[in-house]
Amino acid sequence: MADFSKVSPFQVDPSAIEEAMLLTPEDFAPASEGEKESMVEKRKSVSYWRDAARRFKANTVSMVALFIFLACLFFAFIGPKLIPYSYGDQYRSSQKLGPGEYSEGETLVKNASANFDVFYATALQPGSLTALSKGDHYFTYKGRTYAFTCEKNYEDVIVAIPKGESEPVLIRQADIDPATGAVAKSEPIAVTDTPAEGATELKMVSRVFPHVFGTDSVGRDLMARTMYGARVSILIGIMAALIVLIIGSIYGAISGLAGGAVDFVMMRIVELIYSIPEVLIVLLLQVVLREPLQLWIDHSDSALAHAAGALGSGIICIFITFALLYWVTMARIVRGQVLQLRKQEYVTAAIALGAGNKRIIKRHLLPNCVGALVITTCLQIPSAIFLESFLSFLGLGVSAPMASLGSLCSDALPTITLYPYRLICPAIILTVIVLTLNLVGDGLRDALDPRLKK
């Protein structure tokens, strides 16, 4: 049996080596069970993503940033469902309220609400600026449906169910004592169980909610607007980053893989776009595209036009801008990665086995630069939010009654001396979103591509 243990590295004895080199038939015997077992790996193999997740979790700063960002997502996407105000509605007598304040009517109802179980749509509540209009209404409370008919238009009335009773009453706001909240008089409503055809449903509000961030000059709740604006900004960021990801990675992969003259021309185009001061072109594009887009949205029946109409021409312009100008960084990064990867043996093997370019890009190149793609996309989101807010601040982004964090800041600027909080709230949310996304992106970079860690 070949046995090198007797060969000393210090005293080389040729005969010992010769002896050791002698192979016996035993050397070719199948491995025993015990030998096989010792070859099996004891530890489960860790996948790339699990490994990256472990590294990311170990990064305290990024984890904290991730949680704060999730809180922002909660604020932007779940928050609007929790507050009774909506971003576009103008609430009567609620103009120019400070943070945490109630309007006059809301204070009255708040004081009176101690005596009642439940309040229904009044002049205070969303979507009922004219209070109760003439016609049929209904609402449901504790499983029972209450339907009733208004004989005339009411202003400033409240439908309420007194504590311990089951029949609703109609209270005029003037009958509530401003100081104590005591109700001077109320009239009972005749209710039936089945609502008439076409009756409007009233939205239940059991508690009056303060305007946490205050309201603007036309009585819109600023917290609702900030939530909405944050949602718009985040969605724009994500969409724009995806557009950049798709265009940039395809362009970069083709350029890197093709090489030669194709690569040369494609990279000159990238360089050209790179050296265009994009903001000038973006401003021009915004003005140029706005009207044609609006026309297209108004006159086309296609589903795409309807979807675009829901977003508004300003946002579509931003997407187009990203699709035209902002993919170059991504394309450069992907090309660099592809140039590195395509010299690897497994790509040569794939080519030797007859794989086409499409398959090589899809199966071998893109999956292997996924780390770089994720990092660049993640860092693209805050920069898209930056650009969107910048354009909205200049009055070229989203248009009213829609709002984004940038347009909220821009709206607040003229009245900064009187109502600074109108600017501060959206500005802080915007900064926190961008900051946390940057930190999460940095953490992802460290986790997905440890070679880059400095």
Partner 1 sequence: MVTYTLKRLGAALLTLLIIMTITFFLMNAIPGSPFLTEKSTPQQIALANAKYGLDKPLIVQLKNYVVNYLKGDLGTSLKMQEGTPVRDIIFHQDKFIISIKLGLLSLAVAVILGIPLGCIAAYNRGSWLDGFLRVMTTVGVAIPGFVLATMLLWIFAVKLGWLPTISGQLPDFKSYIMPVISMSFYYVCYVAKLTRTSMLDAINQDYIRTARAKGVKTKMIILKHALRNSLIPVITYLGPVTAGIITGSFVVESTFSIPGLGKYYVQCVMSRDYPVIMATTVVLSALVIFMNLVVDIAYKIVDPRITLTNKED
Which residues are within 8 A (CB) of 183 and not within 5 positions of it... i.e. 6 or more apart? 112, 115, 171, 175, 176, 177
Asked whether the beta carbons of 148 and 192 are under 8 A apart, the reply is yes
Q: Which residues in 257-267 are b (16+ Cβ under 10 Å) and which e?
A: beeeeebeebb
**Which segment (11-19, 39-47, 148-156, 275-283) binds partner 1 by CB under 8 A?**
275-283
Query: Which 73-132 residues touch partner 1, going by CB under 8 A?
Result: none
Q: How many other CB atoms are found less than 10 A from the CB of residue 170?
A: 18
Residue 343 contacts partner 1 per CB under 8 A: no
Determine which residue in the list 5, 47, 275, 302 makes contact with partner 1, applying CB under 8 A: 275
Per-residue string for binding with partner 1, 231-270, x by CB under 8 A? Answer: ------------------------------------x---
Residue 279 contacts partner 1 per CB under 8 A: yes
**Which segment (88-96, 282-290, 349-357, 358-366) binds partner 1 by CB under 8 A?**
282-290
Per-residue string for binding with partner 1, 308-337, x by CB under 8 A? Answer: ----------------------------x-
Residue whose CB is less far from partner 1, 248 or 256: 256
Q: Transcribe 327-356 into DSSP letters.
A: THHHHHHHHHHHHHHTTSHHHHHHHHTT--
Query: Which 283-312 residues touch partner 1, going by CB under 8 A?
Result: 283-285, 287-288, 291-292
What minimum distance in Å lies between the beta carbon of 416 and partner 1? 5
Coarse DSSP helix, strand, coil percentages of the chain, rounded to the nearest 5 percent: 60, 10, 30
What minimum distance in Å lies between the beta carbon of 437 and partner 1? 8
Per rule CB under 8 A, count of chain residues that contact partner 1: 43
Determine which residue in the list 107, 390, 399, 401 makes contact with partner 1, applying CB under 8 A: 390
Phi, psi of 379 (to 5 degrees): -75, -15
Residue type, 132: L
What minimum distance in Å lies between the beta carbon of 231 and partner 1? 18
Strands of 144-150's sheet, edge to edge? 144-150, 135-141, 200-201
Residue whose CB is less far from partner 1, 2 or 413: 413
d(CA 64, CA 82): 25
What minimum distance in Å lies between the beta carbon of 348 and partner 1? 20
Tokens of 403: 């709002």
Phi, psi of 88 (to 5 degrees): -100, -10
Angle at which helix 313-325 crosses helix 278-299, to 10 degrees, equals 130
Site residues, partner 1 (CB under 8 A): 267, 271-272, 275-281, 283-285, 287-288, 291-292, 336, 339, 382, 386, 389-390, 393-394, 406, 409-410, 412-413, 416-417, 420, 423-424, 427, 430-431, 434-435, 438-439, 454
